[in-house]
Amino acid sequence: MKVKKGFNLREVCGEHIIVAEGDENIDFSNIISMNESSAFLWEEVQKMESFSIDDLVNILCSQYEVDKETAKKDAEALAAQWGKAGIIEGNDVPEGSIETVSTIETEPKKRDSATIKTDNSAQEQPKKKGFFKRLFG
């Protein structure tokens, strides 16, 4: 799979939006809003010449506290959504429906040991965002 040329992520009023740029995308009339997690994945795959489901899984597991099985299921669903939206291309784009996307609860891995909470039971946890909650708005 690869990102179609001319589709770029922009932040508009605090929302992550895919914007079609260039003459080849002049007929693209969809508005695609991504949550923070899917926007992060989009930025990562834009740096690659091509990517696979396994690449998405590895990126997810390195950034979020999620098991590989869940990451693979959600990576397949996300890639299928991107394919349906017409923003990626390739013979290996998985097929699926938007309704099959899960809303796993993820939280970025802590990179700085000073920010890790030591007593989680005594502190109220912030509400976690769903992985694909706002993919298509």
CATH number of the structural domain spanning residue 70? 1.10.10
In a domain, 95, yes or no: no
CB 16 within 8 A of CB 35: yes
Q: Structural domain tally of the chain?
A: 1
In a domain, 101, yes or no: no
Q: What integer pLDDT is reported at residue 45 of this predicted model?
A: 96
In a domain, 130, yes or no: no
In a domain, 111, yes or no: no
Under the banding of pLDDT at 50, 70 and 90, the label for residue 117 is very low
3-state secondary structure of 117: coil
Average pLDDT, the chain: 74
Name the least confident of 19-28, 39-48, 64-73, 115-124: 115-124
Examine the pLDDT at 17 and tell me if it is beyond 90.
no
In a domain, 36, yes or no: yes
In a domain, 9, yes or no: yes
CB 77 within 8 A of CB 102: yes
92 — phi, psi (to 5°)?
Answer: -105, 15
For 3-36, give the DSSP string: EPTTEEEEEETTEEEEEE-SGGGTT----EEE-H
Q: Containing domain of residue 6, as a range? A: 1-87
CA distance 120 to 100: 32
In a domain, 93, yes or no: no
CA distance 126 to 83: 33
Distances (CA, A) of 92 to 5, 24, 103, 108: 17, 22, 23, 28
More confident residue, 4 or 132: 4
SS3 percent helix, strand, coil of the chain, rounded to 5, is: 35, 20, 45
Q: Is 26 left (phi over 0), alpha (psi -120 to 50) or beta?
A: alpha
In a domain, 132, yes or no: no
